[in-house]
Structure formats: structure tokens, C-alpha cells
Structure 1
């Protein structure tokens, strides 16, 4: 008797959670059209409860009609589906020497985009004004306005305190330290604004677009700097202060005496970043000023460039071997401008990781080149916003506000 009462209480509690419109909405985010009866069967809720929640979601525009199901007699039941175009996301990827902005729907589909060279050292006002100006142009291009924006996601090339959106002592971003990015953007567009480190959003974008079946993914960006985005048990790990994944300043064996811009010696970034490899070739009398130049030279068969990339891979692999033993990822994805080198870089990484990691940790480990490439950051900035604005709590809050209005 006591067990039966406890079970009834548990079911009532679960029904109370599922009865919220925000939770019911999560079932429809997969894009599959369902009838009220199907939703009632899935949730165990009464049809009247489901109908009330669907009406609330429909009033927000998040759910819309999707035709009718086959009738078993009488009037055919209506189907409902997630309306991903009701609101939009403005996604921005700010790099050291470039910036990109795009408008996506609530499924993360890119509807319009623009990219050009832009120096982050120009300062926050200049860069963010560029983001806003081009964001408005893209909205006009697709016939929408800022009123349609549900949220804005921005990736920056330096440490960010995610809770406030403020950069924290970014080494290549003069004038950005402590700048109120969220407040500055919201003076122009009144929407949710989320800011994060560029590698974190690249990890989100890469995983969602190409590795969603894996819960533990390590994304490595090799470009002007070196960093990692860590996804564990399906969740992005930012750490206590938002600095997790800063692999660029881990000391590498054999790097003694090599000065890093952080002031220490032997850092991975000082040995294996694009700038470090270009400087190494330039010292040998080979014309190279960036990591892209090194990759291009290797593609042309330059032996020095190939050797530099292979050694950079080994150096990166030495650090990643420690990460593999600690985090046990299923996939390591290598992105950034140096990743264009493909196996010329990955061979060195694999050599070090498989040679230095525990056999059990590498038995099923995949080390792959980025598939999202230059789209990773834009997709991740969009995904960061989407997961927030469509979360059960935020949707439920919107429903409550609509009912009060």
C-alpha cells in the first residue's frame, strides 16, 4: 500500500514537470510533426493538458500547424511542428584578423552571412559596430528586422567570463579587458546576448553539426594561438573562471629557451602555432608570414614546411596525450587554419597521442580533421544561443509572460 502511494506521488510529480509547456516543447524540437494524441501518449498527460500547452506554444509562434493526420473516423486530427523560423539568431565570429557574422533560424540553419578581414586590435567599439552594422544588413537582405532576433551569440579570440560576457585580460585584444560586450550590443538590439571564447563555440558547432553521436569530444584549434574546447558528457566545460582548454601555455618537453608571448618559455603556442611555424621557416630563409603560408608551402612539396608541420603535430600530441589520459574523449577534432594541412599535421599528433596515452583510452579514439572548418564558430555561436533561448525554463517563462499580458 505504501509503495503504491509512493508510486502515485512519483507519477504525479513527473506529470507536473512534463505538464510545463517548456518541457513539452522539447519533444517537438526534433522537427517531427505530431498530433495532440501522440503527444499525450508520449508524455502520459491528459489530452486537455496537452491541448492547453500546445495552445500556449502556438501563441508564441514556436509551434505551428503541419497538416492533418489520417483519420480513423470523424474529423482528421491536426498535427503540430516546431516553427524554427519564427525567431532568428545573430551569430558572430571575431578572430584575430577576421570577423564573420550570420543570421540563422532556430535550427541553426544559416540564412545569410558576411565575412571580411578585421583586426580585433581595432578595439571593442569598432569591432562590435561592424558586427551590428553587418547584422542589420543581413536582416534587411532576408526581409527581417532586429525585432525578430531571439538572441545574439559572439565568439572572441581570448578568455571570456561567460556569465558576464566580459573579456578577461585577452593577450591579443588591446582595449577589450573587462569591456561590457553585452551592454554595448543591447544598446542597439534588445535581445539575449551570449559571449564566449572562440574555441568553445567552435567545439559546440563542430560537435552539433558532425559528431552529435559522441558525448565526449575534444576540439583543438591550431592557428594564431592554440586552444581547446572540451565537451564532456554532452556539456561544454568552461571551468571555474572560463579558462579551461588553454593548452597553448602548457609547457612542452624540448621547448626550453623558446620565449612565449605570455612571458614563459617552452609553451606549446611558442612552438606549434601558425606564427611560430612561419617564424621558424623565415629563419631558414623561406618566405612565410603566417600559418596559412606554411600550409600552402607544404602543399607545394616544401620539405622544410612538411617537417615543421609534422613536428608541430608531435608537440601538440605530447600535450593531447595528457588530455586523453585525463578526459578519455571519444573524438579529438583538429580545426583552425593549420588543420588544412590534413595528415601532414595529424600524422604527428596521432604518433604522439597513441604512443603516450593508455591503450584503453585510445582503443576507440578517433583523431580527425575538422569537418565544419570555417563554419564551426558561426554554427557554435548560433547553437549557444539556441540552447539557451529554447531551454525549458526560458520557454516556460515566455509562456507565463504571454499569459500575463
Structure 2
């Protein structure tokens, strides 16, 4: 960094643990002592940084330390799926403060569900003091993050083109950040403490099939936000089976949760959702176990191509089918190792989603936090006029 390093960039250094004192900031940025003091003072005044002197009396950091104030605000996480909505309030460090997960009817309209979500979010905020700074939301399929609308979601019929922002602004008039469910799953793998993957394929295997791509530590959404839409790639083994997207021969017709549930029901087992299929498999049902493993094999056929092209270090398996990780991944491995190059798979690891069933919520929170605390956003907040 240089003499032009901004207050937002200094906050990023403290927040990520690279700096904990003004001396650290001077060393890392090359800023003068006066410049560092001025920027730190602005961040303290905004409530984003705490000084060690303020924490020493409570057994906190030593005098001179700088601490990111994760209680400066909260973000709302809204993960909407085909039959379930997950809501939560997170602090700025990514810790969940309140949550509310409920099932809803398949095929429910945005006009019916969104007001319910707004009421539930408002109720959760009743006991939360910090201001809401942003909302992170995910939907299945392709979305437009600028207009805050679904663009193409076979799983959420009737949602395409519906303006979702007004419903959420009834809860809090703050920035709204929208991404598809596979991308937020990938984002959750890059959030929080611990080692992060630099190059990874993050699969969401649930009612539908999608994939987030992490390359060189960044999520790759694609030109139209459609990167990783593997569920609707044609596969020879799917023949001309009709898909819910209107096409035929898609991977989902033989490997998606909706298709597997239909086959399980045909075998005489009662099931209404892929979670029921997974529960049956984990309980030892031979048909359910066979369906999951077969789904993994079909998914592995396409993953092998992506692995050869992108050479990831890890494949993360999340979503409802990921709850039966060992069983499902056994099928994936069969196809991947049979079809990928030896070099691409030599050090390849398969791992379950880090945040398990909460991965979608964590990813939505990360989506909002990463935008809100980006240096440019922090700088804009510091220079914004105060409105009474």
C-alpha cells in the first residue's frame, strides 16, 4: 500500500488479523503517523474500531491495540429454496444471533412468501440492538443481483422477474445483495476462520444440482451469473427424459433430488422431499441408498470434465444429499477417478460443506458482510453526509 491507503483499507487489515496496532498499520501501508491516526480516528468515531484502552478495564487487549467492532451492526441472511426458507441475523464477524427455518409449500408464489419472510425477519430483530447494515439473499437458479430478481429458476415457478427488494425494505431500508444458492454455498467456504480453498468446485446437490466455482480464491459467477449450472447440462445417459426446465436429457432428470424422489415413491416408499430420501438412505433403505449412489455417479461424469478443465484442489459436496456424504460421494468418486486425468485427481480431496445445513445462511451473511465491509463501501460510509 501507499500514502493513499484509505481508512477502509486499514479496517480490512485489522479485520483480517494482519494488523492489531497503529504501528502495524504504518509498517504495512507506508502511511505517516499522522495519516494513520486520522484514519483510525474516523473508524473509531464510526464505531467500526475499538481501542485497546477501552477494553483494558474488562481484561481485553493491551493499550495501543486496535480491535474490529463486530457489534457495530448486523446483517440479515435470507436463503430461499423450493420448499424451505432459512432466515438469520448475524453480527459482523459472522456469528448467528437469531435464526428461523421453516418449510413452505412447493410452488408458493413470491407474493405469498415474501410478506411472510418480512414478518419473520421483523420479529427476529425485536431483541437485536445494533442497526441492520445489509441483507444477503439467495435463490435457486440464475439471478440478477442489480435488479434483485430471479431471472431463470425452474425450481421456483412464477418468481422470475418479480421485484423482491420492496418486501425486504419493509424490514430495513439497507442495501440488498442477491446471489444464487450455489454461489453462496461457495462463498461460505471462504468465510470465517481456518484455511480457505484457493481452487475448488462447490456442489449443491439437493432438489436441483448446481455448482459454485472458486478460482484463485475468488468466486467465478460467469458472464451472466450462470457459471456452474451443471444440472441442466445434457447427458447421453439421460436420453430424452423431460426436465422441469422444459428441455430433455438434463443431468437433473436422472440425478436431481426431484427425480430421485419420484423414483423412490414408485418403489413404494413414501417421500415428499429429497430430505426424506436421504433419511431413508441413512436408515438403511436399499432403494434409497442405490438412488443416491447412482446420482453421485452421474454427477461425477460431468464433474470429471470440470476437474480436468479447472484442476481444483478440493471438491466440496453440500446440499441435502451432502448430508449422506460418504454414500453419495462414493458414487461421485467412481466416475471422477474413471474419467479424469491422473494428474488432476492425484491430490484431489472430497470434503463435506464446512457449515453443513447452515451453509446457505452463512453464505448469505458473508455476501452482505463482504460488500458492507469492502474498503470502498467503508470509505463511502465515512464520507456520507449525516441525515437527521
Same fold (TM over 0.5): yes
Which residue in 2 is equivalent to 1:220? 203
Residues 356-385 of structure 1 show CA distances to partners (whole Å, capped at 9, x for unaligned) of 111111111111222312110110001011
- Structure 2 match to 1:44: 30
RMSD after superposition? 2.3
Residue equivalent to 1:64: 50
Which residue of structure 2 lines up, in the alignment, with residue 105 of structure 1? 91
**In structure 1, C-alpha distance between the alignment counterparts of 2:196 and 2:345, rounded to whole Å:** 18
The 2-side partners of 1:285 and 1:233 are apart by: 47
Q: Flag structure 2 segments of 5+ consecutive residues without an equivalent.
A: 57-61
Please say if residues 268 and 316 of structure 1, whose CA atoms lie closer than 8 Å, have aligned partners that are also in contact. yes
Q: 2:243 aligns with which of 245, 252, 260?
A: 260
Q: Is the Cα contact below 8 Å between 1:221 and 1:335 reproduced in 2?
A: yes
Query: Shift of residue 288 of structure 1?
Result: 3.4
- What is the aligned partner in structure 2 of residue 315 from structure 1? 298
Q: Displacement, 1:185?
A: 2.1
Q: Any idea what SS the aligned residue of 1:103 has?
A: strand
The whole-number CA distance in structure 2 between the counterparts of 1:222 and 1:246 is 12
- CA distance in structure 2 between the partners assigned to 1:386 and 1:298 by the alignment: 37
The 4+ residue runs of structure 1 with deviation greater than 6 A are none
Partner-residue secondary structure (3-state), 1:122: coil
Q: Is 2:311 the counterpart of 1:325?
A: no
TM value normalised by structure 2: 0.92
Contact 1:63 1:80 in 2 (8 A): yes
**Aligned position for 2:123:** 137
For the residues of structure 2 that align with 1:275 and 1:313, how far apart are their CA atoms? 14
Query: Which structure has the greater CA radius of gyration?
Result: 1
**Mean Cα deviation higher: 176-185 or 324-333:** 176-185
Aligned residues: 383
Query: Relative to 1, partners in 2 of residues 1:351 and 1:174: Cα closer, same or farther, differing over 3 Å?
Result: closer
Superposition pairs of residues 282-361 of structure 1, within 5 angstroms: 282-361=265-344
Q: Is 1:245 aligned to 2:242, yes or no?
A: no
The CA distance in 1 between the partners of 2:75 and 2:314, in whole Å, is 28
Displacement of 1:69 in angstroms is 11
Consecutive unaligned residues in structure 1, runs of 5 or more: 1-13, 71-75
CA contact (8 A) 1:271 1:277 kept: yes
Deviation at 1:339, TM superposition (A): 1.5
